[in-house]
């Protein structure tokens, strides 16, 4: 089977230190994969590398779909919510690839934006400024934007962090629907019980690959202990420095 994303000895550095080192493997088309690991393991770095937002120091990374067919949800902390934009306009940003810088938006696209807001449970919120939303409501807006992008490859960086359980459950249902529609989804997560319940594949990172495959075989006490020890060794190195 061909791969959606292929990594071969991928090494990415930050301030002359490797944040990812020698990562090899592939994400199959239509796969649903959680990326887990200790803080500083390179999880967000992996997503940004797939997007070509970070330079590769060694090895290679190939993405077998056009950039226009990739959707990315960054961590909420990376988004400036003070920008004066309405919920509806924020969702419509998901259609910019189709419209272009100077292109107009068709009635069909406007209807799709309304439908996406309905899907995420935000009917009646279209004209509210995003600055007035709760964290959970804003995350629903970002998922509606992803729906409008209709991408082949979807990258989610901590999509359920600091949001309520009801919103999390409803957004997980959207992720399951993408998986059923054979979208490739890669999500950085911290909640291992959530991973066990909803993500059939898991990549356990600790700057390098600790384990990668079926979730039940990856999230074992042995593998998690190995990743934890690696994370502690980074902390010890920083304190020594």
Examine the pLDDT at 4 and tell me if it is beyond 70. yes
115: confidence class by pLDDT, cuts 50, 70, 90: very high
Examine the pLDDT at 134 and tell me if it is beyond 90. yes
User: Mind listing the pLDDT tens digit for each residue in 44-90?
Assistant: 999 999 999 999 999 999 999 999 999 999 998 888 888 889 999 99
Domain 1-65+152-241 is found in CATH 3.30.365.10: no
C-alpha dist (Å) from residue 192 to 21, 198, 210, 216: 23, 10, 15, 11
| Domain residue spans of the chain | 1-65+152-241, 80-149
Phi-psi region of 203 (alpha: psi -120 to 50; beta: other; left: phi over 0): beta
Q: What are phi and psi of 238, to 5 degrees?
A: -65, -40
Residues 6+ apart with CB under 8 A from 158: 75, 188, 189, 190
């Amino acid at each position: 089977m061909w791969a959606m994303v292929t990594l071969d000895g991928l090494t990415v550095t930050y301030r002359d230190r490797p944040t990812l080192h020698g990562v090899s493997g592939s994400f199959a088309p239509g796969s649903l994969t959680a990326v887990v690991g200790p803080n500083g393991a390179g999880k967000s770095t992996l997503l940004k590398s797939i997007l070509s937002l970070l330079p590769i120091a060694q090895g290679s990374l190939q993405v077998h779909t056009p950039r226009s067919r990739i959707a990315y949800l960054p961590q909420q902390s990376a988004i400036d919510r003070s920008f004066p934009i309405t919920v509806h306009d924020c969702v419509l940003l998901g259609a910019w690839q189709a419209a272009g810088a100077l292109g107009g938006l068709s009635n069909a696209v406007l209807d799709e934006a309304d439908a996406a807001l309905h899907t995420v449970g935000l009917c009646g919120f279209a004209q509210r400024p995003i600055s007035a939303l709760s964290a959970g409501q804003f995350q629903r807006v970002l998922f509606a934007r992803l729906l409008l992008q209709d991408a082949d490859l979807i990258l989610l960086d901590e999509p359920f962090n600091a949001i309520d359980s009801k919103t999390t459950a409803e957004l997980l249902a959207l992720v399951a629907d993408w998986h059923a529609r054979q979208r490739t989804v890669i999500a950085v997560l911290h909640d291992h019980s959530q991973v066990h319940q909803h993500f059939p594949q898991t990549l356990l990172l600790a700057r390098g690959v600790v384990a990668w495959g079926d979730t039940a075989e990856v999230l074992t006490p042995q593998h998690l202990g190995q990743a934890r020890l690696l994370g502690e060794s980074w902390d010890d190195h920083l304190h020594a420095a």
